[in-house]
Amino acid sequence: MKISGRDAISILANLESIVRLQKKDNTDKFWSYKMLSGSHAKFAFDPKTKTKLVVRFDQNPPRIHGVGKVEDIRGKNMSTALNRVFSGRGHVAKYRAEIESEECLLAVLNALK
């Protein structure tokens, strides 16, 4: 089953012991989250999407089933909203990937912790 940004918000709200909401862009274009242990990875997505979940990561996303269309976005022109939700230094958007389902999102979180 496909997952949307709205679905991801609900899922992540129930996982506060492993991931927390880091920052919301003032235009509500992107929300960023931070892993609380392990890699301490940060990732962001548009919370308003209805048909798919496209996530930007500060590190290479795990290569697992359901993570598709992985793209290295370093050096590409990025939205200012995306720059506002990442803290800088090592935590900048470097990769973009589509997450196909809730199960895939949970597997990604498990791989990052």
Domain locations in the chain as residue ranges: 5-112
In the sheet that 53-57 helps form, which strands lie side by side, from edge to edge? Answer: 19-24, 31-35, 42-45, 53-57, 95-99, 67-72
Categorize the per-residue pLDDT at 96 as very low, low, confident or very high, splitting at 50, 70 and 90.
very high
Lowest mean pLDDT among 54-58, 82-86, 96-100, 102-106: 82-86
Task: Check: CB of residue 44 under 8 Å from CB of residue 81.
Answer: no
| Mean pLDDT, range 85-99, rounded to an integer | 85
Q: What pLDDT does residue 33 have?
A: 95
Cβ count within 10 A of residue 31: 21
Give the C-alpha distances (Å, rounded to integers) separating 21 from 30, 66, 68. 11, 23, 24
Residues 35-69: tens digit of each pLDDT: 998 889 999 999 999 999 999 999 999 999 999 99
Q: How many CB atoms lie within 10 A of CB 69?
A: 11
What type of residue is 105? L
pLDDT band at residue 85, thresholds of 50, 70 and 90? Answer: confident
pLDDT over threshold 90, residue 87:
no
- Rounded to two decimals, what is the model's pTM? 0.90
